[in-house]
């Protein structure tokens, strides 16, 4: 058995010890400008983070899924450069009090956890640990005012075939769309990421703003979001629509429920080096203590 290094093993002790006081006194903005990258991460790590060691920047940014740029894992790193991400705005609408087009600056303004680092595992047939920079989706939804009839949140990726070669083929039903139930969307583990490893989000990872839902399979975590809509019924989801037997709306990581064409009981760790190989997949990707309650009473083999 291998043991993941603890946070304290990879963090200079002085920073580890002073993490709380740094957070309390300095604020993330100051830290960002005065400390080196590793220190930034140490200083701002979210208490929700896993203790697992993160993958390298290289691994996280060269092994991607982003079908708008091609189906090979190396395509997004090669072709996402062509996507214009500035200016960017997100149209927020549906059952909200303050609908409108929100610029990225508006979205980030007043976010209390602005420079938080969330080190989450992402799982598919493979897994990685990624030190995201982001903030809870709930704080944005609170800002726009969710109305009482809202039950779901729908998300949509930018549609720009001139910059996204994959969108010129009928591979998927573009634009890429996903959804969450409102309680999932409001859960503090659900974040909108705008960076990773102390830097602006790389385009292949979904710049300038993407969803991260760490207890679900990767396809729920939609990239380069331009539209968020609060709805009263289950939103359209691209992969569910492509193959409903294979990809459900919930997509909770669950080793007990196999994909019809492969087992989902184990995963391959990317970049594990000497320890590479398959490891057992944990239910809810290891976040069961926090999220299992959301699904109490539901049959997860039916609601997969
Ligand atoms: N718009 C869009 N979002 C997307 C995808 C995609 O093809 N298009 N792929 C999904 C899948 S299948 C995975 S596994 C994750 C991969 O995220 P990463 O490349 O940042 O690790 O993004 C998800 N978000
Ligand atoms: Mo995926």
Write down all domains in the chain, each with its CATH number in brackets. 7-246 (3.90.420.10)
Indicate which residue's Cα is closest to atom 23 of ligand 1: 219
Q: Please, which residues have CB within 8 angstroms of residue 74's CB and are 6 or more apart in sequence?
A: 62, 63
Distance from the alpha carbon of residue 220 to the mean position of ligand 2, in angstroms: 8
DSSP string, the chain: ---PPPGGGSS-HHHHHHHHHHHHHT-HHHHHHHS-HHHHHHHHB-TT---SPPPPHHHHHHS---GGG-SSTTHHHHHGGG---SS-EEEEEESBSS-EEEEHHHHHTT-TTTT-EEEEEEESSEEEEEEEEEEEHHHHHHHH-B-TT--EEEEEE---TTT-GGGGSSSS-SSPEEEEEHHHHHSTT-EEEEEETTEEPPGGGTTT-EEE-TTBBGGGS--SEEEEEEESSPPP-HHHHH-TTTS-SS-B--TTS-BTTB--SEEEETT-GGG-SEEEPPGGGGTHHHHGGGGTT--TTT--
Distance from the alpha carbon of residue 24 to the mean position of ligand 1, in angstroms: 34
Q: Is the pLDDT of residue 170 over 70?
A: yes
Residue among 169, 206, 224, 264 to mutate when testing ligand 1 (max atoms within 8 A of CB): 206
Q: Which ligand is nearest to the CA of 65?
A: 1
User: pLDDT confidence of 272, banded at 50, 70, 90?
Assistant: confident
Mean pLDDT of 127-151: 95
Mean pLDDT of 61-84: 97
> What mean pLDDT, rounded, does the chain reach?
85
Q: Which residue has the higher pLDDT, 23 or 250?
A: 250
pLDDT of residue 144: 96
Distance from the alpha carbon of residue 138 to the mean position of ligand 1, in angstroms: 21
Q: Identify the bridge partners of residue 195 per DSSP, sorted by sequence position.
A: 133, 200
Q: Which residue has the higher pLDDT, 218 or 119?
A: 218
Mean pLDDT of 53-65: 95
User: pLDDT confidence of 11, banded at 50, 70, 90?
Assistant: very low
Distance from the alpha carbon of residue 124 to the mean position of ligand 2, in angstroms: 6
Mean pLDDT of 6-27: 32
- Give CA–CA dist 244/241, Å, rounded: 6
Smallest Cα–Cα separation from 260: which of 279, 246, 247? 246
Q: Poorest-confidence range of 21-35, 155-169, 183-197, 205-219?
A: 21-35
Q: Which ligand is nearest to the CA of 220?
A: 1
pTM: 0.86
Residue among 223, 253, 259, 267 to mutate when testing ligand 1 (max atoms within 8 A of CB): 223
Q: Is the pLDDT of residue 51 over 70?
A: yes
Q: Poorest-confidence range of 33-37, 82-86, 210-214, 263-267?
A: 33-37
How long is the chain?
304
Mean pLDDT of 5-18: 31
pLDDT of residue 290: 95
Distance from the alpha carbon of residue 131 to the mean position of ligand 1, in angstroms: 16
Q: Which residues does ligand 1 sit against, CB inside 6 Å?
A: 64-68, 122, 124, 157, 176, 205-206, 218-219, 221-224
pLDDT of residue 111: 67
Ramachandran angles phi, psi of 240, nearest 5°: -60, -40
Q: Which residue has the higher pLDDT, 18 or 182?
A: 182
Question: Could you count the other beta carbons within 10 Å of the beta carbon of residue 19?
Answer: 17
Indicate which residue's Cα is closest to atom 19 of ligand 1: 64
pLDDT of residue 4: 35
pLDDT of residue 115: 56
């Amino acid at each position: 058995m291998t043991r993941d290094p603890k946070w304290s093993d990879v963090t200079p002790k002085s920073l580890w010890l002073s993490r709380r006081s740094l957070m309390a006194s300095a604020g993330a903005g100051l830290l960002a400008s005065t400390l080196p990258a590793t220190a930034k991460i140490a200083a701002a790590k979210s208490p929700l983070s896993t203790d697992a060691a993160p993958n390298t920047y290289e691994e996280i940014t060269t092994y991607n899924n982003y079908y708008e740029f091609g189906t090979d894992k190396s395509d997004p790193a090669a072709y996402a450069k062509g996507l214009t991400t500035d200016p960017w705005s997100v149209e927020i609408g549906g059952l909200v009090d303050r609908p409108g087009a929100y610029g990225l600056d508006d979205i980030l303004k007043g976010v209390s956890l602005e420079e938080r680092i969330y080190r989450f595992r992402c799982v598919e047939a493979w897994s990685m640990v990624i030190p995201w920079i982001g903030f809870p989706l709930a704080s944005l939804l609170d800002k726009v005012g969710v109305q009482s009839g809202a039950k779901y949140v729908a998300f949509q990726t930018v549609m720009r075939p001139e910059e996204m070669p994959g969108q010129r083929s009928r591979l998927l039903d573009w634009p890429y769309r996903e959804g969450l139930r409102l309680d999932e969307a409001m859960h503090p583990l659900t974040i909108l990421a705008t960076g990773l490893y102390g830097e602006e989000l790389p385009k292949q990872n979904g710049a300038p703003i993407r969803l991260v839902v760490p207890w679900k399979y990767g396809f729920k975590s939609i990239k380069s979001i331009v539209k968020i809509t609060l709805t009263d019924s289950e939103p359209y989801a691209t992969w569910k629509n492509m193959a409903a037997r294979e990809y459900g709306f919930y997509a909770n990581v669950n080793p007990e429920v196999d994909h019809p064409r492969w087992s989902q009981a184990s995963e391959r760790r990317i970049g594990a080096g000497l320890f590479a190989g398959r490891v057992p997949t944990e239910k809810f990707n290891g976040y069961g203590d926090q999220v299992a309650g959301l699904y109490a009473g539901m049959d997860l083999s039916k609601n997969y």
